[in-house]
Amino acid sequence: MTQTKETTNKPTDQRGLAGQVIGDTSVCAVNQTQLMYRGYEIADLAANATFEEVAYLLLNGEKPTGEELAQFKAQLVSMREIPESVKEAIIHIAKNSPEAHPMGVLRTAVSLLSHMCPVCEDNSAENDMRKSMSLLAQIPTCIGTHQMALDGKVPVDPDPNLDHAANLLWCMSGEKPHESAAKVMDVSLILYAEHDFNASTFTCRVVASTNGDLHSCVCGGIGALKGNLHGGANEAAMKMLQEIMAEVENGTTADEFMQNAFETKKKLMGFGHRVYKNGDHRAGILRKWGLEYCATANQDAKKWFDLGDEVQAIMLRDKNIFPNVDFPCGMTYYALGIPVPQYTPIFVVARITGWCAHIMEQHQNNRIIRPLAKYTGSELRNWND
C-alpha cells in the first residue's frame, strides 16, 4: 500500500510546531488518510497481528518470523517480575496517597526501576533494546500492583501462560479475563502503540538527543502523556460521557446537553485531531471491537456506545468534527470494568513500544534537538534608567 502524500499547505497558526516537519523517522507515518507502522497500515495490523507481533515490529523494524516471535514472547514473560522494593513502593503510595494519579505513580515506578537496571546508563543499541523489552514487560506489572493495592487486594504475580494483553487484565484484577476482553485489549494496544512525533514521543526524543538514558526518556514521555490534551483525553472523554448520561437519566436529552456545551464553550473531549481532519480511522476500529465485546460478554455496557453514537452524530452534524480514538477507548475500557484513572497508564502499556523505537532511533543517529524561539518581549532596556 502506498503512502498518500500530505498537503504542503502549512497552517496559519504554527504554535505548537503545527505543520512543521522537525525530523526524519522510519518508525511511523501519519497523514490525513493513513497510519502506518514500519510500512504496515493500522487496519491491517489490527485485523491480522497480535500486540506482541506489533511490538516486535516497532522495536526491531521488521515483522517477526514464528521463531523470532516465540523467543520474543518468552523473553518478555521472563522479564515481567518487578523488584520487591519497587512493588513495596507502589503499594505504599496506594495505601498512603490513594488520590495520587496513576500516571504519577507509574512515572515513579519507572524511575525506581532505572536504579536497579545494571545497564541504565549505557545507550548502546544492544542495551537500549534490553531496557526497552524490560519496561515493556514490567509496566503492566507496575500498573496491576497499583490497582490491586488501591482495591485493598494483594497484588498477583504475572501469569506466564497469558499473552501480554490478557496478563495486563489479570494483573489489574486478579481474575482471568474473558477471551473477548483479552482480544479487545490486544487490539486497543495495537492502535495506541505508535503515532510518530506526538507530544510524548517528541519529549522522549528531546531527552534522548541530550544522550539521556532510556528510562529518563520514558519518564519524560509519561509526564507528557499525563496531560488531558494528550493521553489523558481518554479519561476525560469517559468522564464527559458519564456527565451526559447522568443528565440524560435526569430528563435532559443528549442534544440539549451538547447545545448548552456549544453555547458555553465547554471543552468536549475525544473529538478532533491535529492531523486527522476527516476522522481518526483508529476510532472506528476500536468502536467495532468494543461493541463485539459488549455483545459477547457485557450487554449492559452497550448503552454507553449508544450514547456515544448519539453524541458523535451531534458533533458531526453541528460542528463537522469527528471523534478520535480516545472517544471509543473510554467506552471500551469502561465496558471492560477498568477504573477510569487507569486508562492513561494502559496507554503507556502500548506506547512504550513506539517511545522506545524512537529513543533508539534518536540515540543511533543523534543530534541534540535545540530549536530557536521568536522573541516577543521588550526591546533592549537599561537597568539604571
Rounded to whole angstroms, the Cα distance separating 292 from 273 reads 26
Rounded to whole angstroms, the Cα distance separating 194 from 51 reads 12
Q: What is the DSSP letter of 354?
A: H
Whether residue 326 lies in the annotated active site? yes
Whether residue 280 lies in the annotated active site? no
Residue 142 CB-half CA count within 13 A = 29
Residue 333 phi, psi (nearest 5): -65, -35
Taking the chain, what is the end-to-end CA distance rounded to the nearest angstrom?
66
Rounded to whole angstroms, the Cα distance separating 378 from 376 reads 7
Scored b (16 or more CB within 10 A) or e, 86-118 reads bbebbbebbeeeeeeebbebbbbbbebbbeebe
- Are 262 and 273 in contact by the 8 Å Cβ rule? The answer is no
- The sign one gets for the Cα dihedral 219, 223, 226, 229 is negative
Residue 271 phi, psi (nearest 5): -130, 150
* Given the residues 273, 281, 358, 363, the one annotated as active site: 273
Cβ partners under 8 Å of residue 209, min gap 6: 362, 366, 367, 368, 369
Cβ partners under 8 Å of residue 171, min gap 6: 140, 141, 143, 144, 145, 148, 155, 156, 158
DSSP per-residue letters across 1-12:
-PPPPPP-PPPS
β partners of residue 271: 323
Rounded to whole angstroms, the Cα distance separating 295 from 130 reads 40
3-state DSSP: the chain helix, strand, coil percent, rounded to 5? 60, 5, 35
In one letter, which amino acid is 186? D
Helix ranges (DSSP H) in 32-98? 42-48, 51-60, 66-78, 84-96
* Given the residues 186, 213, 326, 358, the one annotated as active site: 326
* Given the residues 101, 122, 178, 230, the one annotated as active site: 230
Catalytic positions are 230, 273, 326
